[in-house]
Structure 1
């Protein structure tokens, strides 16, 4: 197939790299042209000057950028994906956005004769690099079935949740569960450290019981050591939780834990911790 990949950040760069190993013809675009040139130098393929140019002739166009506004910036307009996409092509958005934007994109794509699925991912930078992401998809069954074998290049688990928007809503649930675990670990570590418990032994013991989680096994030690120069940035988790709260308000729900942790991130961002790993929430307890 002929593919286009828009957005070569910490997630998109390795994701597009996995596609390059599958024999597809790939054209990439990044707002920083040097990043696109670096990708081509490493993986082959071509890079384009605009998203529209990258999308021309592509059977599938993947987008992986920052937020709703970033998606609109690369999809709409004279130089956007929809200006170059061919009728019948499939637009796949891997960005974590609002479900409302996913539904909007589906309508806009249909106006050009193209198709759309929302496919946010979970697994972080490490999952992208190792090709072990979880891909949560909303869209038509036939469209998802067509995309799944391609997305398997970087998705260990590729699953349709329902119609367009369902993938984004699943990602909201994912992020709420993640921050619930992280906040709990942070508070538990405060007791452990004050009580003088040995943290590696603590983690080993907890990992064998009901408290076991990916966050515990992969982040508790680094949280205890105050290491946050890696992983999923706090500023992006803050953005994602804002999306969760907007959706909750639309549904008439109140999410106390999500609201609290969102406010914690807001303060941490103001203190300059935005690029730190999202487990930096423990700093709000230490201070």
Structure 2
């Protein structure tokens, strides 16, 4: 099996690496702020390197599961970046929630060294990562995606080729926007029902029977109970992701709902809720 250098061992990255190892891939990782994750993966067969350049030396496939474009850019083309360590013909798969203009800039720089870039935004969350059932929004050439596909198959089962480099991250940003805005609307609907004297738990159940959504199913019970743990997506991350989406809106398009959703999450962030789950925007309204 091919060797993969994998960077980013957060809540998504760790189970992604575990699935690669389980499917027979050799995986190179580096020391991380989560040393427990490093040790678990070392025990599963991952080879641990002291730095990124050493982990990527001579490797033909790199996968990034980083928070965003700033981290990806620093790792790839910053001082001592992987662009100098990777061989001609290598492919980088960026699974971060990236900024499409930055993604395209990175692809151009890497292309000058004979390195391909596939942007592959992810959906289905930590549960999908653990189950090996991630879905990918992908941008890039057919040739580069073909090189990446065996490793991606080990971590997911659904693939959407959206177009050239950058289009995968565009689709991922739109997916985030739809998800977060729907959670905000579900929250307001349940708050409104409570203000009208309806039982919120009963209302949530009834709405699922007729106007159900994944957002209402996953986050409605949290909004009703006021128990927002554990964090699936933080309010702070939602603000950052929605702001990235706002930046790619063409001038003059005049969207209305996306800015309103971002404003709601910013209000919650401003009240000290940035580290809490997005369902905690319910705290913008009194519970009594």
8 A contact 2:3–2:27 mirrored in 1: yes
Residues 277 and 117 (structure 1), Cα distance of their counterparts in 2 relative to 1, 3 Å cut: same
Instruction: Give the conservation status (yes or no) of the 8 Å contact 1:138–1:167.
Output: yes
For 1:189, the equivalent position in structure 2 comes to 190
Q: State the alpha-carbon separation in 2 of the partners of residues 39 and 112 from structure 1.
A: 34
**Equivalent residue for 1:58?**
59
Per the alignment, in what secondary structure is the counterpart of residue 92 of structure 1?
A: strand
Q: Structure 1 residues 188-197 or 172-181, which shifts more?
A: 188-197
Say if 1:33 and 1:49, in contact at 8 Å, map to a contact too: no
SS in 2 for 1:212: coil
Aligned residues of 2:200 and 2:224 also touching (Cα < 8 A): yes
1:111 aligns with 2:116: no
- After TM superposition, the structure 1 stretch with the greater mean CA deviation from structure 2, 75-84 or 215-224, is 75-84
> Quick check: 1:40 aligned with 2:38?
no
The CA deviation at 1:154 is 2.1
Q: Is the 8 A contact 1:50 1:80 kept in 2?
A: no
The TM-score, its normalising length taken from structure 1, stands at: 0.92
* Alignment pair present for 1:269 and 2:269: yes
| 1:195-233 deviation digits (Å, cap 9, x = unpaired) | 443444333332232x21111111101111112222011
Distance in structure 2 (CA, Å) of the matches to 1:276 and 1:33: 20
Which whole-Å CA distance do the structure 2 matches of 1:274 and 1:78 have between them? 31
Q: How does 1:208-219 map to 2 (within 5 A)?
A: 208-209=209-210, 211-219=211-219
TM-score using structure 2 length:
0.91
User: Structure 2 unaligned runs (5+)?
Assistant: none
Cα deviation, residue 31, structure 1: 4.3
Question: Residues 126 and 36 (structure 1 numbering): CA distance in 2 closer, same or farther, change over 3 Å?
Answer: closer
- 8 Å contact from structure 2 (residues 65, 96) kept in 1: yes
> Compared with structure 1, are the counterparts of its residues 99 and 201 closer, same or farther at alpha carbon in structure 2 (3 Å cutoff)?
same
Residue by residue, what CA displacement relative to the aligned partner does 1:3-50 show, whole Å, maximum 9, x if unpaired? 010011111111111111110110013543725632433422212222
The answer on whether the counterparts of 2:77 and 2:106 sit within 8 Å (CA) in structure 1 is no
2:76 aligned residue: 75
Deviation at 1:253, TM superposition (A): 2.3
State how 1:215-226 maps to structure 2 within 5 Å.
Answer: 215-226=215-226
Question: Is the 1:36–1:47 Cα contact (8 Å) retained in structure 2?
Answer: no
Structure 1 unaligned spans of 5+: none
* Residue equivalent to 1:285: 285
Once residues 30 and 137 of structure 1 are traced to their aligned partners in structure 2, the CA distance between those partners, rounded to angstroms, is 28
Q: For the residues of structure 2 that align with 1:85 and 1:96, how far apart are their CA atoms?
A: 23
User: What number of residue pairs does the alignment pair up?
Assistant: 285
Give 3-state SS (helix, strand or coil) of 1:161's partner: strand
1:112-191 pair list within 5 angstroms: 112-191=113-192
